[in-house]
């Protein structure tokens, strides 16, 4: 696997999707970075453990975490950064293969691909959910710490 090439291509693809979704111009580069980190984590997990579902979960998780951090820094909604990063993880080739096998009347093969595509979509959703929960817990903890430092203790 050619790491610099894949990094560059995923960066470019995520930036291009940023243009399609019309995100603010100054966030285009950070959006590309989100896409790149998600894709690299997905690929390296896939090459290490050979499980596309877990790899997609890891990729979506990283995309959402990075997007949350960037959203805090830019003070902008989080979806601006996460949409473009999610796209490379979408199981396009599996859905396509499922469709092609249905057309060729090979239903056993089609169901196999379709179930994989469904599981991967679920993994994307779970990755987003986990990252959201963890980031909310972290922000709550941080807010309580700053409140304590400034002397307003609620409890």
Partner 1 sequence: MAEISEVRRELALDCFLLAGKVMMESGAETYRVEDTMIRMAVSQNMMDSHCFVTPAGIMFSPSNDLPTRFVRIHGRRTDLERVARVNAVSRRLVAGQLTLQQAYEEMTEIEKNHYLFPLWLQVLAAAVASACFLILMGGGWADIPFAFLIGGIGFYIVETVLVKTRVKFFAEFIGAVAIGTLAVLVVYSGFGNDPDTIIIGSVMPLVPGLLITNAVRDMMAGHFVSGLSMGAEAFLTAFAIGAGIAIVLSF
Query: Would you tell me which residues interact with partner 1 (CB under 8 A)?
Result: 5-6, 9-10, 12-13, 15-17, 19-25, 27, 39, 75-77, 79-80, 82-84, 86-88, 90, 92-93, 95-97, 99-100, 102-103, 121, 124-125, 128-129, 132
| Closest among 17, 40, 39 to 28, alpha carbons compared | 17
| Closest among 96, 78, 101 to 31, alpha carbons compared | 78
The nearest distance, CB 2 to partner 1, in angstroms, is 9
Structure tokens at 77: 């909604």
For residues 7 and 38, give the distance between their C-alpha atoms in angstroms, rounded to a whole number.
10
The nearest distance, CB 76 to partner 1, in angstroms, is 5
Nearer to partner 1 (CB atom), residue 1 or residue 48? 1
| Closest among 9, 11, 3, 41 to 28, alpha carbons compared | 11
Nearer to partner 1 (CB atom), residue 129 or residue 143? 129
Query: Is there a contact between 52 and 116 (Cβ–Cβ < 8 Å)?
Result: yes
The nearest distance, CB 62 to partner 1, in angstroms, is 15
Q: Which residue has the tokens 């909310």?
A: 136
Nearer to partner 1 (CB atom), residue 23 or residue 55? 23
The nearest distance, CB 146 to partner 1, in angstroms, is 17
């Amino acid at each position: 696997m050619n790491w610099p090439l894949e990094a560059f291509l995923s960066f470019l693809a995520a930036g291009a999707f940023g243009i399609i979704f019309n995100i603010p111009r100054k966030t285009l580069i950070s959006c590309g970075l989100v896409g790149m980190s998600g894709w690299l984590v997905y690929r390296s997990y896939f090459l290490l453990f050979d499980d596309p579902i877990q790899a997609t979960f890891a990729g979506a998780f990283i995309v959402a975490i990075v997007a949350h951090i960037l959203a805090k820094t830019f003070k902008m909604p989080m979806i601006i950064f996460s949409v473009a990063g999610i796209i490379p993880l979408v199981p396009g080739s599996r859905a396509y293969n499922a469709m092609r096998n249905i057309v060729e009347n090979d239903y056993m093969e089609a169901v196999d691909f379709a179930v994989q595509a469904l599981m991967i979509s679920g993994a994307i959703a779970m990755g987003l959910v986990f990252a959201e929960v963890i980031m909310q817990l972290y922000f709550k903890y941080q807010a309580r710490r700053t409140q304590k430092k400034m002397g307003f203790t609620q409890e």
